[in-house]
């Protein structure tokens, strides 16, 4: 986390503190009621100090990028094709890039047509557009529990109701999905989407078992629910393993979201949707009303990079960096964590999901952790229904292995103190559960 990651505040103005003085308070749309800042933001002044080890962020580690040749390419791009790069494009996206995206998706078994791709401003925008297209207020989105905080933010913005389905170490549990859908049906709820991150889940760190995939698709077909497959980490399996995309198994009922944020550069904000043709047509119209078009420059930068760099080799380098960090985190958890804690064992991606002993409130503990110079993303942010108070997401993507080990050591110390207090006085804190928090890039 760095200063660039969170908005600064004027001295003396805490987020929310002006709410009562806001002269516009009667004017907001109903949907703004769901917009609240994450608790890490409130701790920003402290949490952003360099001495704090942040295990809260989702920033990719870009140090391995070939900056020198990227610099050269950028220069060529403007000199040779500047009037295109700096001009409006279409909301659909640059045709050459859409063709290259097909090659990227082919690595996970997807056969798609470039025409059925819409380029978006990161896959966050893709998520927002898909929700815009399908969700009326009160419509249900089924999501894993926990789920990506940014998705919960988009669903809240469209006043969709999120129903979580629990996972196990093999990801989404088909029986749980079936039960949730049956219950919604019984309650007369209109379920529109299953939102799922099958590979190296954010925040859970688990992967959907291959032998569950067909079953999950079949259940969605049966209940007439469209599948939204969000796959930013699919190429970051630590052994180079990939899994068949849900999209590859049911092209007509899956909307697939992809991103270059984790495999190339997040600051370019280039993501995409691959959708059934009729849906794609509507997505283009929705995107036009949202941003007119994604930045042309950024699309050409990605396109040129894919055309001229060994991008698969670069992904391998990223994977190796993240594997080393994952190892550091898992090793440190094993070494330092007190009894009663458990955690997931990711084979790829950025995150470990940690469960703390009963009685510890991970959200309430965050302020104390930051004082002890370690930050994490508390679990409640990843649920729309108030669950997650005993969980936290630890990300190993950005800090060095040494810092990761030190961060986990500090966190273990905070937990030990918390548990000591608990043993002495009973439960340390009682806090009301709370709904989803609006995502920030720090929790992406």
Query: In the bound complex, what is the minimum distance in angstroms from residue 146's beta carbon to its own copies?
Result: 17
**How far is the first Cα of the chain from the last one, in angstroms, to the nearest whole number?**
12
How distant, in Å, are the alpha carbons of 190, 191, 250, 335 from that of 224?
10, 8, 13, 47
Nearer to its own copies, 77 or 102 (CB): 77
Exposed / middle / buried, residue 29 (Cβ in 10 Å: 0-12, 13-18, 19+) = exposed
Query: In the bound complex, what is the minimum distance in angstroms from residue 353's beta carbon to its own copies?
Result: 21
d(CA 204, CA 439): 16
DSSP-derived letter for residue 48 is: T
Nearer to its own copies, 84 or 335 (CB): 84
Query: In the bound complex, what is the minimum distance in angstroms from residue 226's beta carbon to its own copies?
Result: 6
Helix (H/G/I), strand (E/B), else coil: 76: helix
Query: In the bound complex, what is the minimum distance in angstroms from residue 84's beta carbon to its own copies?
Result: 7
Query: In the bound complex, what is the minimum distance in angstroms from residue 325's beta carbon to its own copies?
Result: 17
Helix (H/G/I), strand (E/B), else coil: 192: strand
- Token pair of 405 as six digits: 């080990």
Nearer to its own copies, 37 or 249 (CB): 37
Nearer to its own copies, 85 or 167 (CB): 85
Query: In the bound complex, what is the minimum distance in angstroms from residue 182's beta carbon to its own copies?
Result: 19
* Cα angle for residues 108, 110, 113 (degrees, 5° grid): 145
Nearer to its own copies, 241 or 291 (CB): 291
Closest CA to 403 of 344, 321, 336, 332: 332
Query: In the bound complex, what is the minimum distance in angstroms from residue 184's beta carbon to its own copies?
Result: 15
Query: In the bound complex, what is the minimum distance in angstroms from residue 52's beta carbon to its own copies?
Result: 17
d(CA 383, CA 94): 36
Nearer to its own copies, 127 or 370 (CB): 127
Nearer to its own copies, 192 or 323 (CB): 192
Nearer to its own copies, 28 or 185 (CB): 28
Closest CA to 141 of 126, 167, 160, 166: 160
Are the CB atoms for 165 and 145 separated by under 8 Å?
Answer: yes
Q: What size, in residues, is the chain? A: 444
Helix (H/G/I), strand (E/B), else coil: 63: coil
337 dihedral zone (left: phi>0; alpha: psi -120 to 50; beta): beta
d(CA 71, CA 254): 37
């Amino acid at each position: 986390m760095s200063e660039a990651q969170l908005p600064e505040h004027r001295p003396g103005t805490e987020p929310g503190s002006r709410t009562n003085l806001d002269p516009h308070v009667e004017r907001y749309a109903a949907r703004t009621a769901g917009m609240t800042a994450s608790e890490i933001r409130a701790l920003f002044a402290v949490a952003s100090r360099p001495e704090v080890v942040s295990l809260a962020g989702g920033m990719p580690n870009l140090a391995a990028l070939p900056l020198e040749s990227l610099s050269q390419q950028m220069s060529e791009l403007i000199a040779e094709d500047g009037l295109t790069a700096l001009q409006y494009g279409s909301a659909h996206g640059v045709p050459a890039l859409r063709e290259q995206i097909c090659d990227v998706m082919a690595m996970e078994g997807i056969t798609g047509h470039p025409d059925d791709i819409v380029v978006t401003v990161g896959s966050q925008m893709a998520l927002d557009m898909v929700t815009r297209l399908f969700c009326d207020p009160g419509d249900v989105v089924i999501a894993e529990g926990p789920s990506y905080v940014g998705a919960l933010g988009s669903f809240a913005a469209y006043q969709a109701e999120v129903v979580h389905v629990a996972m196990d170490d093999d990801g989404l549990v088909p029986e749980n999905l079936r039960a949730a859908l049956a219950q919604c049906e019984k309650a007369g709820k209109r379920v529109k989407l299953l939102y799922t991150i099958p590979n190296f889940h954010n925040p859970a760190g688990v992967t959907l078992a291959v032998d569950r995939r067909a079953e999950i698709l079949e259940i969605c077909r049966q209940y007439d629910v469209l599948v939204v497959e969000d796959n930013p980490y699919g190429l970051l399996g630590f052994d180079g393993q990939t899994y068949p995309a849900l999209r590859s198994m049911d092209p007509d009922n899956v909307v697939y979201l992809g991103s270059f944020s984790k495999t190339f550069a997040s600051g370019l904000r280039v993501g995409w949707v691959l959708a059934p043709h009729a849906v794609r047509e509507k997505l283009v119209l929705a995107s036009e009303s949202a941003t007119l078009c994604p930045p042309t420059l950024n699309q050409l930068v990605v396109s040129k990079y894919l055309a001229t760099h060994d991008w698969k080799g670069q992904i391998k380098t990223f994977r190796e960096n993240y594997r080393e960090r994952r190892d550091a985190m898992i090793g440190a958890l094993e070494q330092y964590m007190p009894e009663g804690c458990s955690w997931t064992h990711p084979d790829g991606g950025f995150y470990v999901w940690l469960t703390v002993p009963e009685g510890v409130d991970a959200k309430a503990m965050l302020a104390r952790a930051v004082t002890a110079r370690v930050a994490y993303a508390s679990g409640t942010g990843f649920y729309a229904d108030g669950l997650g108070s005993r969980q936290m997401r630890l990300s190993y993507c950005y800090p060095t292995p040494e810092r990761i080990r030190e961060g986990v050591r500090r966190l273990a110390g905070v937990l030990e103190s918390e548990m000591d207090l608990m043993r002495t006085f009973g439960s340390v804190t009682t806090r009301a559960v709370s709904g989803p928090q609006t995502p920030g890039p720090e929790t992406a």
